[in-house]
A = this chain, B = another copy of it.
Amino acid sequence: MSILIRDVQVEGEITQVYIEGNRIAEIGKRREADVVIDGRGKVALPGFVNLHTHSAMTLFRGWADDLDLSTWLETRIWPAEAKLTPDDVYWGAKLAGLEMIKSGITTFNDMYFHMDQVAKATRELGLRAFLAEGIIDLNDPERAVKQIRTAEEMNRRIEGMKVDRITPVFGPHAIYTVSRDSLLRIRELADKRGSLIHLHLSETKREVDDCLVETGMRPVKYLDSLGFLAKDVIAAHGCWLDPSEIEILAHTGAKVAHCPVSNMKLATGAAIPYDALREAGVVMGLGTDGPASSNRLDMFEAMKFAALLQKFATGDPKVLPAPEVFELASLGGAKALGIDAGVIGVDRLADLILIDPRRPELAPRHSDVSNWVYSAHGSVVDTTICDGAVLMRNGRVKGESEILERASQVAQDLVTRE
């Protein structure tokens, strides 16, 4: 299977992009291809990498906003999640995938429950995904055994699907929900299986304070003392990192997923120390977080929030300029996950999107990258290609209305279910 994108703008030049299989095979020459896409007037960009989300939580979008974290979790989310069925998660993930395709995301790094269902939805939709069954043992050894067994079983099922673009990952939820023993066990399993590890880290001040009380160490130091941190760890949030922790992240090679929208909406109280992380050489990407807390799966929105939050929190409008935030959302995430994506180049994965810039909010075109970061939203995306397959063309995705209808029904049923 081959695709030619004709006469499209790539990094300021009009050129030809030729895709063979799931890779970009050539840039510059017009070639015969099975599918020819007219790129005239359009701009090709790398597909975005959503480095932290809980995609199936689309089911809870708008259902419990403007609450404090404990009310939100204890009276709304946890009771509803206790009733989640595999079918719910399947439709929630389908809705999320549809939204991601429509807003130009080609890869997502996900943590939730019933992840075999997310894998099934992702296989059907054509996205690239890293999927972690969330592990929460609440210091209960019996629960720990069960949770790790479930996670291993899910990972086996996902591997059994033999879809290259879908990769199982270990997902210990956070240091305050997963015991020391389980963290050690997960580290061991990840080494054995060669899997990534995806967790929440240093999101709230309470997490840091509690960790200090219980272990005498800050969260990153605590994890490092267990030998947990390494190049294969992706830590979401990192709002409350101190300089010594940034140093540890840098030398262990752990990655950070910044989620500005949920940090602001849930009032985590501190912005990620972006410049210090960058100077230390920590690989960072950008995430939307789950739609129950951030509402949207739109990396354009996440880019604008990331840039503006840094400027506001530091008092310096020069921090996190547009080209850097665009890189976070694309190449940064790809590096964190170890995939050959995030830029348009020969031999890279054919994960890319086309934008039609003929819209009032994208005019004039003094700086395209400023326009993508500060003016665009997901709706500017016209075409989405992932792993060499066209997932959306002219803004339309196959099966869209069925997904909207079924996911809406499931969501309504879930929150009213006895």
Contacts and interface: CB of A to CB of B under 8 A. Distances in A.
A96 to B, nearest CB: 8
A312 B264 contact: yes
A366 B312 CA distance: 32
B404 A363 contact: yes
Interface in A311-350: 311-312, 314-318, 321-322
A154 to B, nearest CB: 25
B295 A374 contact: yes
Interface in A358-390: 358-361, 363-368, 370-371, 374-375, 377-379
Given A102-B360, A312-B267, A62 B378 contact: no
Contact of A67 (B99, B317, B408): B317
A69 to B, nearest CB: 7
Nearest to A367: B62
B95 A360 contact: yes
Nearest to A325: B66
Contacts of A301: 304, 377
A261 interface: yes
Nearest to A101: B360
A358 B58 CA distance: 15
Contacts of A415: 366
For the complex formed by this chain, how many copies does it contain in all?
A: 2
B309 A312 contact: yes
A106 B19 CA distance: 45
A37 interface: no
A407 B364 contact: yes
A360 B263 contact: no
Given A308-B261, A364-B412, A371 B62 contact: yes
Given A363-B407, A377-B379, A370 B295 contact: yes
B296 A66 contact: no
Given A312-B309, A358-B404, A62 B374 contact: yes
A59 to B, nearest CB: 7
Interface residues of A, number: 70
Nearest to A294: B374
A321 B66 contact: yes
Contacts of A308: 261, 264-265, 305
A360 B92 CA distance: 11
A355 interface: no
A208 interface: no
Contacts of A98: 360
Contacts of A400: 360
A274 to B, nearest CB: 13
A411 interface: yes
Nearest to A410: B364
Interface in A276-322: 295-298, 301, 304-305, 307-309, 311-312, 314-318, 321-322
Contacts of A360: 58, 95, 98-99, 102, 400, 403-404
Identify the 10 closest CB pairs spanning chains A and B, nearest first: A62-B370, A364-B411, A379-B379, A66-B321, A295-B374, A99-B360, A63-B366, A264-B308, A264-B312, A377-B377
Interface of A: 58-63, 65-69, 72, 95, 98-99, 102-103, 261, 263-269, 295-298, 301, 304-305, 307-309, 311-312, 314-318, 321-322, 358-361, 363-368, 370-371, 374-375, 377-379, 400-401, 403-404, 407-408, 411-412, 415
27 contacts: A60-B366, A63-B370, A65-B374, A66-B317, A68-B316, A95-B360, A95-B363, A102-B360, A103-B361, A264-B309, A265-B311, A267-B314, A268-B312, A269-B312, A269-B315, A295-B374, A295-B375, A297-B361, A301-B304, A305-B308, A358-B401, A359-B404, A360-B404, A363-B408, A364-B412, A366-B411, A377-B378
